[in-house]
Structure 1
């Protein structure tokens, strides 16, 4: 699981770098699909990841006031701020936790923890696909979605 989270974080960081080339009006421009814009989609990815991890830890949800994160740099800082807590949770993950039940305050249903972790991973990958479509709409090359060749399997687990 940790490898796939590290993959998502690496791709997300590359999208942050990629977005630096955009004029502010393109970065915040409302588009079809996703969460509405590059900016809102990146914030949404971060919010969903952190909210679900907190739910897995039986902690209260922290709603992000998106108005406080209007620049790309602030969005990047928010992402980086949450990484240590998420990483610490993932390091404690064992296969024994896979089928434990959990719930989230924004839903009335219960899920297995393994299902939720996989949802978090797939959710980001889904939205990265939307960012890629928008990049192509702008005649720009998107960030590579390849997991292969990123060196994720060679890096130490305790980075």
Structure 2
């Protein structure tokens, strides 16, 4: 499962790089789908990933005001900070050990495996939205190919 987090992080970093060709107004322009803009969709991806990992660990969610994240650098910085937290989680939290996960923002309870798979699928879903927006801008999107990324090299 960790391989898919590595995949999502690689693709996310490529989207961050891709976004550097856009000016601030394009990053914040309201669009159909996602969270409304390219920048806030990327922030949403980062936020949801970290929030669910916090929930798995029984920790409080950290709420963000999206208005505080107005630049690509703001979102990249948060992504890298949280990525280190998530790597620490994977290094110190036995994957085999499954338990119920209860998040503060939803009434249901889930298994850890369910949550991790949800987080992976959630990012892939939003990356698809970014790809559509890229095409609408007349630009090539980041490749979503899993193979050829060196994630399965021995």
TM-score, length of structure 2 as denominator length:
0.96
What are the Cα deviations for residues 4-27 of structure 1, in whole angstroms up to 9, with x where unaligned?
001000100000000010121111
When the two chains are superposed, the root-mean-square deviation of aligned CA atoms in Å is 1.2
Output the CA distance in 1 between the equivalents of 2:77 and 2:117.
24
Output the CA distance in 1 between the equivalents of 2:31 and 2:112.
33
Q: Match for residue 131 of structure 2?
A: 132
Q: Match for residue 110 of structure 2?
A: 111
Deviation at 1:52, TM superposition (A): 0.3
Output the CA distance in 2 between the equivalents of 1:34 and 1:66.
14
Q: Match for residue 84 of structure 1?
A: 84
> Equivalent residue of 2:33, what SS?
coil
Q: Match for residue 54 of structure 2?
A: 54
The alignment of Structure 1 onto Structure 2 pairs a total of residues equal to: 154
Gaps of 5+ in 1: none
> Equivalent residue of 1:97, what SS?
coil
What are the Cα deviations for residues 15-69 of structure 1, in whole angstroms up to 9, with x where unaligned?
0000010121111110001110101100100010000000000000110122222
TM-score, length of structure 1 as denominator length:
0.93
